[in-house]
Structure 1
Amino acid sequence: MTSLWRNREFNLLWGGQVLSELGDAVARFALPLLVLFLTGSAVQAGVVGTVGQVTSLVCRLPAGVLADRVDRRRAMLAADAARLLACGALAALIVTGHAHLWVIIVVAVVDAGAGTVFGTTEQAALRSIVAADQLPGAVARNEARGYGVSLAGPPLGGLLFGIGHALPFVGNAVSYLASMVGVTLIRRPLQDERPPQPERLRSALAGGVAFVAREPFLRAVLLIAAPLNFAVTGVIFTIVVSLQRQGIAPAVIGLAETVIGVGGLVGAFVAPVLQRRFGLAPLARTICAAATALFLVSALLTGSVTAAAPVAVTLLLAPAANAALFGHLAATTPDHLQGRVLSVIFLGAGSAQAAAPLLAGTLVTHASGAASTLVFTLAVAVATVVAATSRGLRSVRRADPGSGRSTAGSIGGTGDA
C-alpha cells in the first residue's frame, strides 16, 4: 500500500486546499473589517457573517445530492471558479470605489454556497483516492490543514488589509486558482460509475436522511456531536466576549484564540496514534467527559486568558475523534451515498452552532461569562450522558474494503475504522 505521503492524488488535493483554505481564512478575517470600513456598523458586519452561515446551512443537503449525482471533479472546479470570480469581482470593485454592502452580501452568499459544495464533494471523493486503512490518517491531515490555516490566516489577513483593502480578496482569488490546478491534475476518477438515470431530487434528498436514520450509530453521532459542537463554539465565543468586555487588548485576545488553535493543531498531529490506540467509541466518550470537566475549569477562569487553556486541551482530542468518525463513514458508506450522508451529518452536527454566539453574547451581557460557560458545559454534559449510554455507539459497523459495504463489528482499543 502506497504511503499517504507518497499518494500523488491525495497530495495534489491536499496541497491545493492548503492554499485555498489559507485564502479563505485571510478573506474571512478581512470581510468584517471591510464592512466596518465602508459602513462603520458592527451590526451590518454581523449581518454579513450570519448570511454566510445561513447560506451554508441551506446549501448543505443539496450539496450532498450534487456530490452524488454529477462528476465530482467538475463540481469542485465549478465551485472554485464561482468563488474565484466572486472574490476577483469584489477586489476590482474595492479598487474602483464601487464596493457596497449589497455587493459584499452577494459575494458572501456565493462564497459560502460554493464552499459548501466544494467541501462536501471533496470529503465524498476522499475514499476514491485513499485506501480504506489510510482514511483516518487522511482526515487527520485535513484537520491539521484546517487548524494550521486558522492560525496563519488572521494575522496575514490583517497585514494584507492594512497594505490595501483589496489585497486579501485578490489573494483568495489566487488561492482558488491554485486549488483548481490541483484538482485538474488528479488522474483518478473521484467517484464510482453512476446510473444513467439519476434519482429525482426529492428521492435523492430522502435517501441520505433515510440512510442516517436507519443506522443506530449515526443517530448516536448526531445526538453527541450537535451539543458538543454547540458547546465548544459557545465557550470560545464566551471567552472572547468576556475578555473584550474587560478591556483586554486585542492582541491578548488574539493570543487566547491562538492557544485554542494550537491545541487543535497539536491534536491533529497526534490523531493517528490516538485513533489507532483507542478507536472511535472510546474517543467519543473521552472527549465528551473531558470537555465537561475542562469547561468547568474554564468557567472558574473566565475573564482571564488562561480560560482558553482548558478549551485547548479539549481540542487535543477533537481531531482524533473526527479522524476516526469520518474515516469510518468514508469506508462504510456506499460511494453513491457519500455526499448525502456527509451532508446530513454536517447539517445535524453543526446547525446548533449558529445559535451559540448569540446565546453566549446574551448570557455574558445579562449574567456573566462564568454563567455562560456553565450553560454550555451543561450542553456538553448531555452529550457525555448520551455517549456513555448509547447502544448505537457501543456497536458500530466495520468496513469491508473489498466490497465497500459494512459488516457487524465493534470498536474498541484496536482503532479499526
Structure 2
Amino acid sequence: MNALAPLAERMRPRSLDAIVGQRRLLGPGAALRRALEAGRVHSMILWGPPGCGKTTLARLVAERAQARFHVISAVMSGLPEVRRVLAEAAEAFARGERTVLFVDEVHRFNKAQQDAFLPHIEAGHIVFVGATTENPSFELNSALLSRCRVHVLEAVAAEDIVAALRRALDDAEQGLGGQGITIDDGALESLAEAADGDVRRALTLLEIAAELATDGRIDEATLAQVLADRTRRFDKQGEQFYDQISALHKSVRSSDPDAALYWLARMLDGGCDPAYLARRLTRMAVEDIGLADPRALDMAISAWEAYDRLGSPEGELALAQLVLYLASCAKSNAGYVAWKAARADVAAQGTLAVPMHLRNAPTKLMKGLGYGKGYQYDHDVEGGVALDQTCLPEALEGRVYYRPLERGLELRLKEKLDALREARTQARAGRRGGQGGG
C-alpha cells in the first residue's frame, strides 16, 4: 500500500472479519458471509450510506470469487467506457476468467446505461456489484433489479467506528502505530460520533487530528479544530429528505411536539430550505388540524411571513413555535376527507344542473323559465335556515361530505350540523309526504 495514500484507504479491510459493523450481513452464520466463504458469488446491489463498507465488500467479493476486479464510477464514466469494459469482461470469460464489475454510484447511470449491463449479467460475463446511497426501488430500473440481489448496509455504529479508529492507531504498517499518537477514550468517542456512521470519514478526521496534534497528543483543543465544521448526513433530494419530512409530518399528526421539533431541527441542520418547511407546515395546518383549530392556519401563515422577514437563524424560531403548536393542538382531517369526497362526486357525476330555485334570474326571460322560483331567503326564515330547501343537485340530495369530529372546535360544529341535518331530513320527509297527499 502506498504510504502517501489517505489513512482511510490504507486501513481498508482486507478480510470479512476486519469489516466493522454489518453483522446482519457479514456476522458468523449470516447468509451472505456463508456464500462468500464458499466462493458462491452473485450479482448484487449494495445499498447504504457513505462509508459503510460498500466498496470494501465489493473487493472482497472479487477476492472470494478469485475473479478480476474492475471499478467504474457512474459519475466519471459514460456509455463508451462501459461498453469497452463489458467487451473486455466477455473476452476474459471466453478465456475462463471471471470478472467482478463494481459500479460505484450506480443510481447516476440513466436507463440506457443500466440496460447495457443486462445481457452480460445474463450471459455470466460479469458478476455485477452496484453501490448506491439511494433507494434502488426509485433509482434503478426493474430489469436490473430483477437480476441482482439487494443487500442493505447500515450506517456503522459509533462503538464499531471506535474499534476501527483504535485499529488505525495500533497498526504500525498501514496506520498511525509507531508515531506516538495518544488520544483518550472520550476524544476517540467524540471522533466516532462526529463521523455520523461513516468509517471513512472517521479515519479522515483522525488523520487530520494526528497532523494537528502537538507532540503527538490529540487533546480537546485539537479536537475542537477538527470538529469545528462537522455536518450530518442529509440529501436534499434523496430518500433521507423524504424520510425526514415524513417523520416531521407524522410526528405533528401524532401530537408529539418533542419528536416534531427534533425532525424540524434535523432538516434545518441538514440544509433544507426553510420556505419548503413553512409550506409543508401550512399544509399540515389545513390537512391534519383543519377546523378542529382554525387558528392553526393563521399561525402557519404568520410563521411563514415571520421567517420571510427575519431569515435564518431568527426566523427559524417562528417555525419551531409553529411546529410545537401544530403538534399540541386538536386534530381533524374531516375537512380534508370531505373535500376529497366532493371532488370524487364531481368527477363521477359529470355536469349536474344547478337546481332551478338556486339560479339567479336577472332577465325577464329567465324568470319566465322558472329561474329562482321557490327560493327561500334564509335570513327571513324563522331560525335563519330554510330547512326544507335543498342546495345540492337532485341526484346528490342528502349527500353528506363533512362529518366533524368530536375534537376541539369541531365538537361544537358537529353538534350544530347534526341538529340541522336531522331537522332537514324531517323537513324533506314532510315535504315529500305533503306532495304525496296532494
TM-score, normalized by the shorter chain, greater than 0.5: no
Q: Which of 1 and 2 has greater Rg?
A: 2
Task: Choose between structure 1 and 2 for higher RCO, CA contacts under 8 A separated by at least 6 residues.
Answer: 1
Using structure 2 for the length normalisation, give the TM-score.
0.21
